[in-house]
Amino acid sequence: MSLPSKFCRKSPLELFNDPTKPYINVCAPMVRYSKLPFRELVRGYNVDLAYTPMILAKEFKNSSVARDFDFSTSPTDSPLIIQFASNSPVELAKAAELVFGYVDGIDLNCGCPQKWALNEGIGAHLMDKPELVKDMIRTIKGSGVNLPFSIKIRIHNDMRKTLSFTKNAESVGVDFIAIHGRTRRQKSTSPIDLDTIRLCKESLQIPVIANGNVFSLEDANILCENTKVDGVMAARGILKNPALFAGYESTPWECVDRFIKLSLGLGTTHYIFHHHLMYMFEDFMSNAERKTFNTLTSIPAIVDYLGEHYGLQVG
């Protein structure tokens, strides 16, 4: 892992008690995409809390190579939640021990709907394993990892089943819950279930974060107004426009420029660098430009292209 010396961290729980904010702005855990350069970027655009990508606890625990690839942080990357995918209380606790002092909270992924995750018994598969989830919460809360622990879930078709799941998690000490308002079988174009999110918020004593269909600051405000949640989380929307929580309707050039410089300074892969920029330029590039941009096979080629066509200056 690319870690600095241990440093002073900020508790995510303090964010929920800020009387000056109606809700907190959250950058979602996104496989591959919510790595350090992107987190540093969005923190400059009113993001209060950021998550790492989903990380497999077993591989993280067993492999230094996996740790180096999956996780890095910095003194300004706080408050930070690391999200693990696991179905083993022991493996989850051991993975959490490795990052103690470098993150501000641990999250258990109970929402990934991808087929491979379901086959592995992780992600949204855990929505049908409430007792196992309770065991994992108990194990973390009873360990020496004295950090806030959260879960990120998807909903069931039956509102009562979702409520029971969240109440069970609350009963064994989970500190807050993020709710994606779709079932694991629903597509990203489906509307989110505001009623279930609202019911959970009304019924729980812990903070609740809502996730789904947030592509603008107005979307975030409406989601909070309709559910009365404590936080609003963006995923696809913040990939396309990292400045959305700052009220920008589309990605400003300064945001693109800063992302490039952060990525070059902190390190990234061509794949991640390229895809982030493809999302940010989605509304600006013509089809012909996009086809050309998609053929660029190295970071230097991308930087040269943006310098020639958009005036990017690096160095």
- Tokens at 50, concatenated: 């950021």
The reply, when asked if residue 205 is annotated as ligand binding, is no
- Counting Cβ atoms within 10 Å, is residue 200 exposed (0-12), middle (13-18) or buried (19+)? buried
The reply, when asked if residue 58 is annotated as ligand binding, is no
Measured at the CA of 254, the angle between CA 249 and CA 258, to 5 degrees, comes to 120
The reply, when asked if residue 133 is annotated as ligand binding, is no
The reply, when asked if residue 234 is annotated as ligand binding, is no
Q: How far apart are CA 281 and CA 128, in angstroms?
A: 39
The reply, when asked if residue 83 is annotated as ligand binding, is yes
The reply, when asked if residue 31 is annotated as ligand binding, is yes
Give the dihedral sign, CA 221/203/156/142.
positive
The reply, when asked if residue 99 is annotated as ligand binding, is no
Q: How far apart are CA 36 and CA 123, in angstroms?
A: 23
27, 110, 112, 255: which one is catalytic? 112
Residues 6+ apart with CB under 8 A from 302: 270, 273, 274, 277, 293, 296
Q: How far apart are CA 13 and CA 35, in angstroms?
A: 22
Question: Please, are residues 257 and 43 in contact by the beta-carbon 8 Å criterion?
Answer: no
Active site residue 8: no
The reply, when asked if residue 152 is annotated as ligand binding, is yes
Query: Which parts are annotated binding residues?
Result: 29-31, 83, 152, 180, 235-236
Query: Which parts are annotated binding residues for FMN?
Result: 29-31, 83, 152, 180, 235-236
Give catalytic residues, as residue numbers: 112
